[in-house]
Each structure stands twice: as C-alpha cells, then as structure tokens.
Structure 1
C-alpha cells in the first residue's frame, strides 16, 4: 500500500467538493458502503475516520 498519494479536489455543480480516495487506501480500510466522518485537524489537514455502525 502506498504511504502517500496525491489526488485532485474538484467542485461539483451543486457546490459540494469531491475527492477520490486511492484504491489501495479504500481497499485496506474496506470503505465500500461504509460511513466516514471528516474533521478539520488544522488549516491544511483533514482527517477521515470510519464510523462504526451500531448494527
């Protein structure tokens, strides 16, 4: 799995921003269909955490 990767952020017509998560990262975190939480860690850093379902 890559230790770092760069992707480009784009803005959709509805004003929402979109970012693509590298496949290796998403696969290693088993992200397909999961809910994630985004947080602003600093002026130049976002964090993403998988939210555990209560099922």
Structure 2
C-alpha cells in the first residue's frame, strides 16, 4: 500500500500518467481528502465500513 498527496502526484508525474500505471499493473487506487491510496495487488478492495449515504449524495 502506498499513500500520496494528490497535489504531489499531479506535480511529479501527472494524474493521467499515474492512473495509467496503476491500471497497467492491475492495482486499485482510492482517493479521499486530498490523498490517493494505492493497493499494490490485484485483489478486490471492499469497504468494511462507511458512513450512510444520503439520497442527494447517491445521485
């Protein structure tokens, strides 16, 4: 697992290049609160807990 600030990732290599490499390797990335977390394997990622989503947020 690797964690990076979004602005650092965009500054160093660019968002599209970074995400293309994630896809090429078969990894999964999630973004939250200005951070990108990369799971360095091809296994599915499952949220164990999350806050309830409102109807407006689901649209």
Which bin holds the TM-score, normalised by the shorter protein?
Answer: 0.3 to 0.5
TM-score for both structures, normalised by structure 2: 0.32
TM-score for both structures, normalised by structure 1: 0.34
Indicate the structure whose relative CO is greater, using CA pairs within 8 Å and at least 6 residues apart: 2
The structure having more radius of gyration, on CA atoms, is 2
Q: Which structure: greater helix fraction?
A: 2
